[in-house]
Structure 1
Amino acid sequence: MMDETAQVQPSAPENERATPAREKESLSTPALSRGEITRQRILEAAEAVFGELGYYEASISEITRRAGVAQGTFYIYFRTKRDIFVELVRDLGRRLREASAAATAGLTDRLEIERQGFIAFFRFAAAHCSIYRIVEEAERVAPEAAQEYYQSISRGYARGLRAAMEAGQVRPMDAETLAYALMGIGHFLALRWIVWPQLSATAGPAVEASAAARQSDQSAEQVLPPQVFETLMEFITHGLAPTLPSSSPSTRDRAGSSPAERGQEANPPEPQP
């Protein structure tokens, strides 16, 4: 999917005791300062609270309670509930782009970049199902943040697709249109096979399967049902092919003439008396 590395957020003040982040850091990620760790804990708590309660029901007191910090500490990093909400949308977008960039680093074949990028996206969606509710609410609460979330993904995505077109790996098309089309495919496949099962109280086995996929080292494709992922890749493979398959010529080429011309040949005018 996308393949753009995000910029790291600026360091926050160092005034809290160091606490391990809940998510494993990449081996290549520099060590975080105590202030950065505290800030990240607050953002992670905010992700859980906004994801569960929604923006309007969420409160700063609940966020700080889950983060294990005093309310005064919250205001060192964020001014208001809206401020942390906007920053959370940015943070989720940055982490998603970083996950994709790490998964596709060093790859040059566009189809393999698409495969690994989509795998990274689906794994991220499985681990952060609340991102759907948060970004959807951002369209009403902070539309500029929601717009930037999608645009920051599409810019890098379109840039990679454009480079693949110049290299002859993808047939020439409008790169931005193609980027948004592929983003939409990933969005709705994750919604259907990852987010909805986790939200459904009657989909116990599906929830357990998604949780297992997040917590184990199994193949990333298994986050989605295998046939779903392979159907996606089959569609992308043929959709991005540099040239149309020889078995699928254009409407004119199939018969060597246009439909109107073929109709004239099949139904020649009757001879006049």
Structure 2
Amino acid sequence: MPRGSAKKATVADGDGAKTSADLTMKNAKVPRTERGRRTMRAILDAAAIEFGAHGFGDTSIVSITQRAKVALGSFYTYFDSKEEVFRALVNDMSDRVKQHAATAMSANHNALERERAALTAFLQFAREHKEIYRIIDEAEFADPASYRAHYEGTADRIFERLTEGSESGELNNDLTEAHAWAIMGMNVFLGLRFGVWSEEMSAEEVAAVAHDILSGGLRKR
């Protein structure tokens, strides 16, 4: 079993007390006051709407500040460029997805129930923030490092949970990083189909289908 991934996931999930605005990116100018945090949050929320609606190329700093109702100078207090706020937004959205899933999981859940709860939470988040798919997709070209970090971080967290399930005896002991990426791939496209394109099934129903695949497979019983 690959050894580095689970360790990296533990580091990535550390310090749950910080807000998503605090965790946006290493190079962002982290606000030190509550007013500053509200301003930064407003900029990130406005950026999510603008990038989600118009894409990276057709979004401007001015359109972001106008939507956020902040002065242009306030933008440059925290970000040096459109590229930097986009990078911060990708990291911010990744962190919010992580926190949303973490909140949904309980210590009483077994290994597969944790995956079911995490997927349910992700589907709910995707329905409330449909722009996440366009933003993450655009990151592949606008900021490839953030794009890769988003998916690697997500897969690391899944692999960490699988590892814990293996060590507790709940899951097979030959699970690898590829299993985590397979689960993530399933979740991503379920979110696209039943979170962004339609909501014809409840998040719980969709997660139940994925749970059935993970627990029982597709072979006729």
TM-score (normalizing by structure 1): 0.68
Cα separation, 2, equivalents of 1:112 and 1:179: 15
Residues 51 and 131 of structure 1 are in contact (CA less than 8 Å); yes or no, is this contact kept in structure 2?
yes
1:1-273 mapped onto 2 (5 Å cutoff): 5=13, 7=15, 8=18, 9=22, 11-14=30-33, 33-197=34-198, 222-223=202-203, 226=205, 228-239=206-217
Kindly tell me: are residues 136 and 80 of structure 1, through their superposed partners in 2, closer, same or farther at Cα, counting changes over 3 Å?
Answer: same
- CA displacement 1:121-149 (0-9 Å, x = unmatched): 11111111111111111001110010011
Residues 159 and 175 of structure 1 are in contact (CA less than 8 Å); yes or no, is this contact kept in structure 2?
no
- Following superposition, the deviation at residue 189 of structure 1 comes to 1.0
Cα separation, 2, equivalents of 1:175 and 1:13: 41
Residues 6 and 95 of structure 1 are in contact (CA less than 8 Å); yes or no, is this contact kept in structure 2?
no
Which stretch shifts more, 101-110 or 38-47?
101-110
- Following superposition, the deviation at residue 107 of structure 1 comes to 3.3
- CA displacement 1:30-83 (0-9 Å, x = unmatched): xxx111111011000000000000000000111001101011100001000000
Q: Higher relative contact order at CA 8 Å, sep ≥6: structure 1 or structure 2?
A: 2
Residues 139 and 146 of structure 1 are in contact (CA less than 8 Å); yes or no, is this contact kept in structure 2?
yes
Residues 126 and 223 of structure 1 are in contact (CA less than 8 Å); yes or no, is this contact kept in structure 2?
no
- CA displacement 1:183-212 (0-9 Å, x = unmatched): 110111111122123xxxxxxxx5xx7xxx
Residues 89 and 135 of structure 1 are in contact (CA less than 8 Å); yes or no, is this contact kept in structure 2?
yes
- Following superposition, the deviation at residue 13 of structure 1 comes to 4.3
SS at match of 1:235: helix
Kindly tell me: are residues 71 and 51 of structure 1, through their superposed partners in 2, closer, same or farther at Cα, counting changes over 3 Å?
Answer: same
What stretches of structure 2 of length at least 5 have no aligned partner?
Answer: 1-8, 24-29
Cα separation, 1, equivalents of 2:150 and 2:208: 27
Cα separation, 2, equivalents of 1:68 and 1:105: 38
- CA displacement 1:241-260 (0-9 Å, x = unmatched): xxxx9x97xxxxxxxxxxxx
Residues 89 and 145 of structure 1 are in contact (CA less than 8 Å); yes or no, is this contact kept in structure 2?
yes
Residues 103 and 116 of structure 1 are in contact (CA less than 8 Å); yes or no, is this contact kept in structure 2?
yes
What stretches of structure 1 of length at least 5 have no aligned partner?
Answer: 15-32, 198-205, 210-220, 240-244, 249-273
Residues 5 and 101 of structure 1 are in contact (CA less than 8 Å); yes or no, is this contact kept in structure 2?
no
- Following superposition, the deviation at residue 106 of structure 1 comes to 2.0
SS at match of 1:56: coil
- Greater fraction helix: 2
Cα separation, 2, equivalents of 1:128 and 1:159: 26
Kindly tell me: are residues 229 and 97 of structure 1, through their superposed partners in 2, closer, same or farther at Cα, counting changes over 3 Å?
Answer: closer
Residues 6 and 98 of structure 1 are in contact (CA less than 8 Å); yes or no, is this contact kept in structure 2?
no
- Identity %, equivalent residues: 32
Cα separation, 2, equivalents of 1:159 and 1:115: 15
2:202 counterpart letter in structure 1: Q
- Following superposition, the deviation at residue 173 of structure 1 comes to 2.8
Cα separation, 2, equivalents of 1:186 and 1:104: 16
Q: Aligned pairs, how many?
A: 200
SS at match of 2:202: helix
Cα separation, 1, equivalents of 2:193 and 2:49: 21
* Structure-1 residue corresponding to 2:26: none
